[in-house]
A and B are shown apart, each in its own frame.
Chain A
């Protein structure tokens, strides 16, 4: 791997991260909180390190496949490391581990937190926390691609390594233009949601923070009780709607908004995603309602639909303590954590398209038993999926399960109980946030052992970059000259 070009691109990324720090300063000034110094310090450190990297590694080599993986993975690690500075400067209880965890959780849009009392933190820092979600949602590398045209060379390598999904359709001939289109959609949705939340009586600050966390399918709130704090059906349903939108492939939004192409709604992955969501809501609603937890059906519907959408889109906002629900409902939620949103959305998990493909593969195998000489191709939406893609998806599925089992084992080794271990790995690998038992919707990750936090951070990175981009760096071949 050509480390020089990796360092060069990373330098640009750090400058960009530094800009994030100062963009929180207006809030700091407005609220007169004590974060101004911390923000300026972090900005300066980040900028200087970035500048040094650019200065020392300056070159005009091309970004190859290997460099693409390196840039994306190291870029995310560096962003999480330097992005944690404001937390450390501002809250003296935060060790580097916790700061790194919190930033990684923000950037990967997981929404798992180690803060035990959110409301005492400085408003500007909480805004910064939501901002990491928003920036991480569509990918920090893709964003720098869209902003810094000098990095356009080899852009597809980076795009492929960072944007989730088994296949990558470029909307435009140039990858930088595609990135710009995705961001345009993202920004439009952001403005609409902020407006709608303010209409519901939220202040501008709360609206913007929650909007960032919704559209990135993150899950950070500015309140201890998460969304339950507002106790408003209107807010719940607005958030639910936008969480769902964020879990849908952004190219569908693009076609709807800019091309008025309503046939995009017939996209099979969208329909699959919708079906899974609706079915889960119905099952859990029946289960919860008949066990008599909520006295009115409308209340039950409000809490159940919000929770299901929050989990399936891998957002992780909470309104209800689903641990009080029957076990079967919790089981469905756990399964949803693995499925996740659509490819090309900001959601995490394995992605619906992969689950659809795996189901098709299973169906085809049964078909082959009855007709041994049948010629069967795996198809989605009447289009043949190339064999390589099918193979990649199957191996992704297996790898996901293997990693899940492996890391659950490791966390168990750290004497965390079984349910918590399972939920921790499922919730971080799938970028969801809240899990079950000790890390349930009313708890947080603060009490986990030091090592477990690092494993969680690593799982979040793995899940966000879809395993292979990160794991490939452990292969010696990447490092050969």
Chain B
């Protein structure tokens, strides 16, 4: 069994509940604090966690939550100041790891990180907008990708694509691997009609299959155009909505020398946008105004990203853009209910709370398991693990290992570089394996990796939370 930790989460909003769910499912003791009893109620209904009503920054409330026995504090309310204050209190109570969600960049831009670490005791600052913008940028880099995750310091990427190229239709994986895919791209999984399979050589690909590929960034870019049937077009991006995500995205795209057009209906918001954006064309208007979109050249746009504060508006605008011929549509979505619905109609979704939760989990996990990533569609997961020194696998080739059929070792990263796994690849100690798997296979993988020469189990290593803080 995994070692159980006491985790306190302050803030029961979207981010807080996503985190609570994640850590609860990993068998940790989770306590959630919020001022709003209704929010707590809805968490209590679905998860077996402790909920406390109160101000998350007040030392009394935090003591009630047994914060002094906790090893991890996640302060993720909507208020930066409360989050910072909570971390300060936690610092004085001796909590080892504190993560705070801080939205206002004014607090930490520049060289004030030391102040945060030493005085406020914040180990990691999570900025939700930042996290989601990073995700959007990754997706934009690989056109047609439904999602992109990076491993081994961004040397290896995993991405999902909808097959939209007749070249791939009705061919077996063996044929595709031989003739179409470059040698250093692994087709890790196929998601079709709600089911995910790890393909074997004799499986077929069909149109509109969602395939998950693992490759180096450069190969991924090449294959992205091929598989999604998109052409490398202009560098024009249209953003709808001057929310925090919209601004930050425009700023990031400006840095990449892209032509950015930002549409925002509100005049005061436009004024604020003009303050931050220098090369972006700001248009005051509705993103659902078809004439306006045409005038601003949406038909030549590389991507349309809707980032308003309303899910419904984002969806409608994205549908409109799709109707006008934009292939790459990204919508910022808050409600979990919509997240599964939209990819089916050709709209890529991103959400602040899953991106934030993802970043926090990524951070919380760094040790032997470097990264873990849950794909949005289906239940598949990708994780990165380091082969322990005394593991039984060492010295064997991949062919010799009896690996479960619903999991696949995709890549091996070591000092010599990144190797795309083939049957004759050998495993050495301290190699990093990037494994693509369905959840059913996880216990079996743990068993295989656990066959060590001494008694210490791998499970303890695979899910340790901050065993070594660097």
Nearest A residue (CB) for B278? A382
Residues of B within 8 A of A371 (CB): 281, 283, 295-296
CA distance A371 to B296 in the complex (A): 8
Which of A374, A377, A382 contacts B281 (CB under 8 A)?
A: A374
Among A375, A377, A382, A384, the most chain B Cβ lie within 10 Å of the Cβ of A375
Do A375 and B284 have beta carbons less than 8 Å apart?
yes
CA distance A280 to B296 in the complex (A): 39
Q: Does residue B391 face the partner (Cβ distance < 8 Å to A)?
A: no
Q: Does residue A379 face the partner (Cβ distance < 8 Å to B)?
A: yes
Q: What are the interface flags for A333-377 relative to B under an 8 Å C-beta threshold, 1 for contact and 0 otherwise?
A: 000000000000000000000000000000000000001111111
Of residues 286 through 303 on chain B, the ones whose CB sits less than 8 Å from some CB of chain A are 292, 295-296
Q: Does residue B282 face the partner (Cβ distance < 8 Å to A)?
A: yes
CA distance A399 to B305 in the complex (A): 46
Q: How many residues of A contact B (CB 8 A)?
A: 10
Residues of B within 8 A of A382 (CB): 278
CA distance A54 to B285 in the complex (A): 62
Residues of A within 8 A of B273 (CB): 375
Q: Does residue B271 face the partner (Cβ distance < 8 Å to A)?
A: yes
Which of A372, A373, A377 contacts B274 (CB under 8 A)?
A: A377
Of residues 4 through 31 on chain A, the ones whose CB sits less than 8 Å from some CB of chain B are none
Q: Does residue B275 face the partner (Cβ distance < 8 Å to A)?
A: yes
Which of A373, A377, A379, A384 contacts B283 (CB under 8 A)?
A: A373
Which of A373, A375, A379 contacts B278 (CB under 8 A)?
A: A379
Do B282 and A376 have beta carbons less than 8 Å apart?
yes
Do A375 and B275 have beta carbons less than 8 Å apart?
no
CA distance A371 to B267 in the complex (A): 16
Do B275 and A374 have beta carbons less than 8 Å apart?
no
Do A375 and B292 have beta carbons less than 8 Å apart?
no
CA distance A351 to B115 in the complex (A): 43
CA distance A337 to B271 in the complex (A): 36
CA distance A36 to B285 in the complex (A): 75
CA distance A371 to B260 in the complex (A): 13
Task: Tell me the minimal C-beta distance from B401 to chain A in angstroms.
Answer: 57
Do A375 and B274 have beta carbons less than 8 Å apart?
yes
Task: Tell me the minimal C-beta distance from A117 to chain B in angstroms.
Answer: 57
Q: Does residue B270 face the partner (Cβ distance < 8 Å to A)?
A: yes
Do A377 and B271 have beta carbons less than 8 Å apart?
yes
Residues of A within 8 A of B264 (CB): 375
Residues of A within 8 A of B267 (CB): 375
Task: Tell me the minimal C-beta distance from A11 to chain B in angstroms.
Answer: 47
Nearest A residue (CB) for B282? A375
Nearest A residue (CB) for B270? A375
Residues of A within 8 A of B278 (CB): 379, 382
Residues of A within 8 A of B283 (CB): 371, 373-375
Given contacts A379-B278, A382-B278, contact A373 B284 (CB under 8 A): yes
Of residues 375 through 411 on chain A, the ones whose CB sits less than 8 Å from some CB of chain B are 375-377, 379, 382, 384
Residues of B within 8 A of A373 (CB): 283-285, 292, 295
Q: What are the interface flags for B26-40 relative to A under an 8 Å C-beta threshold, 1 for contact and 0 otherwise?
A: 000000000000000
CA distance A16 to B284 in the complex (A): 56
Task: Tell me the minimal C-beta distance from A263 to chain B in angstroms.
Answer: 15
Nearest A residue (CB) for B272? A384
Nearest A residue (CB) for B284? A375
Task: Tell me the minimal C-beta distance from B284 to chain A in angstroms.
Answer: 4
Do B284 and A384 have beta carbons less than 8 Å apart?
no
CA distance A50 to B173 in the complex (A): 101
Residues of A within 8 A of B281 (CB): 371, 374
Nearest B residue (CB) for A377? B274
Task: Tell me the minimal C-beta distance from B179 to chain A in angstroms.
Answer: 47
Residues of A within 8 A of B292 (CB): 373
Of residues 105 through 140 on chain A, the ones whose CB sits less than 8 Å from some CB of chain B are none
CA distance A375 to B270 in the complex (A): 7
Do B275 and A384 have beta carbons less than 8 Å apart?
yes
Residues of B within 8 A of A384 (CB): 274-275
Q: What are the interface flags for A150-175 relative to B under an 8 Å C-beta threshold, 1 for contact and 0 otherwise?
A: 00000000000000000000000000
Nearest A residue (CB) for B264? A375
CA distance A375 to B242 in the complex (A): 12
Residues of A within 8 A of B274 (CB): 375-377, 379, 384
CA distance A36 to B296 in the complex (A): 76
Task: Tell me the minimal C-beta distance from B274 to chain A in angstroms.
Answer: 4
Task: Tell me the minimal C-beta distance from A421 to chain B in angstroms.
Answer: 44
CA distance A376 to B278 in the complex (A): 10
CA distance A128 to B282 in the complex (A): 57
Q: Shortest 7 CB-CB distances between A and B: which pairs?
A: A377-B274, A375-B270, A375-B282, A375-B284, A373-B285, A382-B278, A373-B283
Q: What are 16 contact pairs spanning A and B, CB under 8 A? A: A371-B295, A372-B295, A373-B284, A373-B295, A374-B282, A374-B283, A375-B264, A375-B267, A375-B271, A375-B274, A375-B282, A376-B274, A377-B271, A379-B274, A382-B278, A384-B275
13 new A-B contacts at CB < 8 Å, known A373-B285, A375-B284: A371-B281, A371-B296, A372-B295, A373-B283, A373-B284, A374-B283, A375-B271, A375-B282, A377-B271, A377-B274, A379-B278, A382-B278, A384-B274
